[in-house]
Amino acid sequence: MDFFVLADEELLIAFRMIGIQGLAVPDGATARAVFHAITRERRIPVQSEPGKATVYLEGQQVSILLVTEDVAEYLGEDLIAWQLEGDYPLIMEIPPLEGSRPGHAGIVDAVRKAIGIHIG
């Protein structure tokens, strides 16, 4: 699987409309459990309903994991540690529907900084 997204339900619907699968993450415990399953155990969540156990697809790897800023905050040090390891999946933080929070670089700003373009 190339892409997978961890986001709120509303944003997840938008990603599903363009063919990217994902999982709604309502809280920190869920975020950490799913992140660990995807990164460490190489299991991909394919179904999750409130009050029911999450069903996982075994033996597939996500190449790029998209996480909203909210989910990134839930993950905290776990996310930073994973990024420093340099292993797959690569993590890309995306803004929620209401836009980036102060202190978070937008995707365009992050790309400009990475390639050294400064317009100002």
- Those residues with Cβ within 8 angstroms of residue 1's Cβ, 6 or more apart along the chain or in another chain: 21, 44, 60, 61, 62, 63
Looking at the domain assignment, is residue 95 inside a domain?
yes
Ramachandran bin of 52, using left for φ above 0, alpha for ψ from -120 to 50, beta for the remaining angles: beta
Domain count, the chain: 1
- Chain mean position to CA 79: 10
Looking at the domain assignment, is residue 120 inside a domain?
no
pTM: predicted TM-score of the whole model, two decimal places:
0.76
Looking at the domain assignment, is residue 46 inside a domain?
yes
Identify the band that residue 67 occupies on the pLDDT scale cut at 50, 70 and 90.
Answer: very high
Domain of 76 in residue numbering reads as 3-115
Looking at the domain assignment, is residue 63 inside a domain?
yes
Domain CATH for 46: 3.40.50.10580
Give the pLDDT confidence of 76-91 residue by residue, as tens digits.
889 888 888 888 898 9
Looking at the domain assignment, is residue 23 inside a domain?
yes
